[in-house]
Amino acid sequence: MEEIAAFGVLGERLGLQLHYADVRAMAGLAARLSPLKVTPARATAIVYIALHAGCDQTTLGRALGVNRASTMKAVDELEVLGAIERRPGRDRRTNALHLTAAGETLRARIEQETLAHDQAAFGALTVAEQAELSRLLSKVRSDSASA
């Protein structure tokens, strides 16, 4: 990808700057997670299931921002990977999602790699700058939610 300056006035837009930063960060994270055989999206699913053991697929899908059909594919993949399992849920319609022992090991490695990536990607910022970036981003998110 070329320089933002190549886009003139629009290159000064915060939206474009934000997008470029995100694309680069996501590519870096994907590369780091690649040896673990998970994408950032799958890794996010694993982390969510770890924190919400027994949740159903619809709930997971909502958390990930995808519909039930897409959630199916994710859950199928993670099951084939041996990271999670479907157990009987609160009623006969629902599955309760749980990490397997292998999934817990994987989750730990994901957390490690993810935090290491964060440090690599944002390490150029001082601690104060990181806190400020976090504050600004949360302000942006809460606003664009209402827009």
Partner DNA sequence: TATTGTTATACTCTATAACTATA
Partner DNA sequence: TATAGTTATAGAGTATAACAATA
- C-alpha distances in Å from residue 2, one per residue of 20, 25, 48, 99, 137: 10, 16, 35, 41, 25
Q: Report if residue 46 touches DNA, rule: CB under 7 A.
A: no
Q: Report if residue 10 touches a copy of itself, rule: CB under 8 A.
A: yes
Q: Which helix (H) or strand (E) holds 143?
A: helix 127-146
In degrees, to the nearest 5, what angle opens at C-alpha 51 toward C-alphas 45 and 54? 85
Q: Report if residue 89 touches DNA, rule: CB under 7 A.
A: yes
- Choices 11-19, 69-77, 79-87, 90-98 (CB under 8 A): range interacting with a copy of itself: 11-19
In the complex with a copy of itself, the residue whose CB is nearer, 1 or 80, is 1
Q: What is the C-alpha to C-alpha distance for residues 33 and 81, in angstroms, rounded to an integer?
A: 14
Q: Report if residue 99 touches DNA, rule: CB under 7 A.
A: no
Q: Report if residue 70 touches DNA, rule: CB under 7 A.
A: yes
Q: What is the C-alpha to C-alpha distance for residues 82 and 143, in angstroms, rounded to an integer?
A: 39
Helix, strand or coil for residue 99?
Answer: strand
Which spans of this chain sit near a copy of itself (rule: CB under 8 A)? Answer: 1-2, 6-10, 12-26, 28-29, 44, 47-48, 51-52, 62-65, 111, 114-115, 117-118, 120-125, 129-130, 132-134, 136-145, 147
Which spans of this chain sit near DNA (rule: CB under 7 A)? Answer: 39, 41, 56-58, 65-75, 86, 89, 91-95
